[in-house]
Structure 1
Amino acid sequence: MGRLIKAEFRKVLTTKSWWALMIPAAALALGFALGWGAFTNDVGDALSSSDVQAITDAFGITIGELPMGLLAIGHGINIGLTFAVIFGVFALAGEYSKKTITTTFLTAQNRVSVLSAKMITYSIWGAIYGLVVAAMASLGIVLTEDSERLPTAGQWLGVVGAAVLAGVLATLFGIGVGAVWNSVVGAVVTLSIYLILVENVLVFLSFGLWQVDWLGGVLPNGTLNGIVGAIGAEAFGAAGVHVPGLDSEAAWGLQYFAGAPGAFSWWASALIFLAWTMIFFVGGWTANQRRDIT
C-alpha cells in the first residue's frame, strides 16, 4: 500500500492538474472573501448607526462587535472547494482518459488496493486544498472587515478545521463522481453546471415559491457549503440553535449571507454530505470492480 500511495503522489505531482486547479481556487477564495467581506462590513457599519444601536442596546445586543467576517469567509472557502471536487474527478476518470488505468490495475495487487491508495492520497490533497482556500479567504476578510468584526481565535480554528474536513470530503466526492461517470469532461461539465447553477436555482425557487427552507440542507452542494457556512450562520443564531423572534425568512437570509442556505448545522451538513460522498464513492468503487480495461 505504501508504494501505491507513493506512486499516486508521483502521478499527481507530474501533472499540471494540481496547481492548475489550486491557483484559481485560491484566487476565487480570496476574491469572494474580499467582496463579501466588504459588503458585510458595510452592513455592520449601517447596523452600528446611532439610531439602530439605540434600539439594539435596549435588548443588550452590541451590533458593532458581531463577527460579520464569519458571514463572508464561508463564501470564499465554498467557491474554492468547488475546484477540490473537480480535482478529485481526475483521480480515476483521468487515468481512463489517458489510458494509464490498465498499467495501474495490472501492476497492483488488486483493484481494491488501487482505489484505497487513491482515497488516501487524494484525502491528503483535499486537506491541502481546504487549508489553502481557508488561508486565502481569511486574508480576504482581514483586509476588508474591521478588527472588532473578525472571528475569534476559536471561531477561526473551527472554520479552518471545517474547511479541511470539507476539502477531504469534496475530493472524495469528486473521485466517486468521476469513477461513476468514467469521463473527465463529462463529469467536470456536469458537476460544474449542477454545483454552480442547477442546485442554486432549485434552492432559490423552492424557498421563493413554496417556502421550503431546508432543501439546501440536504442536496450535495448545499451540504458541502454548509460544513463551513453553517458556522457563520450558527454565530448569528440562524442554524444549529433557535433564537426567539428570528423567523424562517430571516434565518434563511442569514444562512444565505453565510453561504449555507438551508443548513441545519455544520455537523449535520458534514454527515449528510458524507452520505452523498459514500453513495458516489461506493458506486464508483463497484463499477470499477467490474469495468473492463484495455
Structure 2
Amino acid sequence: MGRLIKAEFRKTLSLNTWWILVIPLVLVSFWMSFAWGKITNDFADWIGSGTARIIAEQAGVSADALPVGLLSIAHGVNIAQLVPAIFGVFALAGEYNSKTITTTFLTAPNRVSALTAKMITYILWGALYGLLSFGLAALATVITVDSDRLPTGGQWMAALGATILAYVLVTLFGIGFGAVLNKIVLAVILLIGYFLIVENVLVVVLWNTSDVFGAILPNGTANGIVGGIAAKAFGIDSINLPGGVEHWDKLGLQLSAGAPGVISWWAAALVFLAWTMAFFLGGWASNQRRDIT
C-alpha cells in the first residue's frame, strides 16, 4: 500500500493540475476573506458609534467584541473549497481521460488496493489545500479585522480543524462525482454551476417555503462546516437563533456566516459526509465494473 500511495503522489506531482489550482485557491481564500473582513469590521465600527451604538447597546450587542473575524474566514475558505473538489474530479475521471487508468489498475494487486491508495493520497491533498486556504484566509482576516474582533484561541483552532475536515470531504466528493460521470469537463462544469449558482438560487427561492434545504443539500452542508462555527459564535445558527427573528431576516443573518439554513457545524459535517459517501461509493462501485481496455 505504501508503494501505491507513493506512486499516486508521484502521479499527481508530475501533472500541472495541483499547482495551477493553487492559483485560484490563493486568490479566492485571501481576497474573499479580505473583502468580507473589511466590510464586517467597518459595519461593526458603524454600529459602535453615534446613534447606532445606543441602539446596539439596547439590543445587548457590544460592537467592540463582535467576532467578525470568523465571518471573514468562513467566506474565504467556503468559496475556495471548490478548488479541492475540482482537483478530486481529476483523480479517476482524469485517468480515464488520459488512458493512464489501465496502468494504474494493472500495476496494483487489485482495484480495491488502487482505489484505496488513491483515496488516502487525495485525503492528504485535501488537508494540504485546507491548511493553505485557512492560512491565507487567516492572514487576510488579521489584516482587516480589529484585534478585539478576532477569534479566540479556541475559535481559531475550531475554524482550522473545520476547514481541514471540509476540504478533505469536498476532495472525496469531487472524486466520487467525477468517477460517476467519468467526464472531466462535464463534471467540472456541473460542479461549479451547482455549487455557485443552482443550489444557492434554490435555497433563496424556496426559503419562504422551507429553510431546511440549506441544511440538507451538498453546498449548504459543505459551507456549514466552517460557516456553522461562525454562526454559532454569533448565535445565529438555527439551534441558537433568538426567538422573534423574521423568516427573511434569518436568511440574511445566516448568509452573513456563509451558511444559510445551518443547524450546527457538526450536523452539517455529518450530512455532507453522507453526500460524500454516496458519490464516493457510487464512483467506487462503477469503477469495479468499468472496462479499462
Shift of 1:254: 1.7
Map of 1:87 onto structure 2 = 87
Q: 2:242 is paired with a residue of what secondary structure?
A: coil
Number of equivalent positions: 292
CA distance in 1 between counterparts of 2:285 and 2:3 reads 23
CA distance in 2 between counterparts of 1:59 and 1:288 reads 57
Contact kept in structure 2, 1:41 and 1:144, CA below 8 Å: yes
Map of 1:54 onto structure 2 = 54
Amino acid at match of 2:189: V
Contact kept in structure 1, 2:220 and 2:260, CA below 8 Å: yes
Amino acid at match of 1:185: V
Structure 1 segment 141-152 matched on structure 2, within 5 A: 141-152=141-152
Identify the match of residue 235 of structure 2 among 226, 237, 256.
237
Map of 2:195 onto structure 1 = 195
Contact kept in structure 1, 2:5 and 2:117, CA below 8 Å: yes
CA distance in 2 between counterparts of 1:60 and 1:186 reads 50
Q: Which moved more, 1:248-257 or 1:135-144?
A: 248-257
Shift of 1:22: 1.5
Shift of 1:170: 0.6
Amino acid at match of 1:196: L
Q: 1:92 is paired with a residue of what secondary structure?
A: helix
Shift of 1:108: 0.6
For residues 170-227 of structure 1, give each alpha carbon's deviation from its aligned partner in whole angstroms, at most 9, with x where no partner exists: 10000000110111111111111111111111111112xx342221111111110110
CA distance in 1 between counterparts of 2:3 and 2:247 reads 53
Amino acid at match of 2:2: G
Map of 1:260 onto structure 2 = 259
Contact kept in structure 1, 2:105 and 2:114, CA below 8 Å: yes
Contact kept in structure 1, 2:92 and 2:182, CA below 8 Å: yes
What is the root-mean-square deviation in Å for CA atoms of aligned residues?
Answer: 1.3
Amino acid at match of 1:235: A
Shift of 1:250: 2.9
Structure 1 segment 123-162 matched on structure 2, within 5 A: 123-162=123-162
- 1:175 and 2:191 are equivalent in the alignment: no
Amino acid at match of 2:259: A
Amino acid at match of 2:275: W
Contact kept in structure 2, 1:72 and 1:257, CA below 8 Å: no
CA distance in 1 between counterparts of 2:86 and 2:102 reads 22
Structure 1 segment 68-79 matched on structure 2, within 5 A: 68-79=68-79
Contact kept in structure 1, 2:127 and 2:164, CA below 8 Å: yes
Amino acid at match of 2:250: A
- 1:227 and 2:217 are equivalent in the alignment: no
Amino acid at match of 2:22: M
Identity rate, percent: 56
Map of 2:215 onto structure 1 = 217
- 1:120 and 2:82 are equivalent in the alignment: no
Map of 1:276 onto structure 2 = 275
Map of 1:7 onto structure 2 = 7
Structure 1 residue runs of 5 or longer lacking an equivalent are none
Residue 3 and residue 223 in structure 1: after superposition, are their counterparts in 2 closer, same or farther (change >3 A)?
same
CA distance in 2 between counterparts of 1:16 and 1:111 reads 25
Map of 1:288 onto structure 2 = 287
Shift of 1:266: 0.5
Q: 1:151 is paired with a residue of what secondary structure?
A: coil
Provide the TM-score with structure 1 as the length reference: 0.96
Structure 2 residue runs of 5 or longer lacking an equivalent are none
CA distance in 2 between counterparts of 1:193 and 1:52 reads 39
Amino acid at match of 2:232: E
For residues 140-160 of structure 1, give each alpha carbon's deviation from its aligned partner in whole angstroms, at most 9, with x where no partner exists: 111111111111111111101
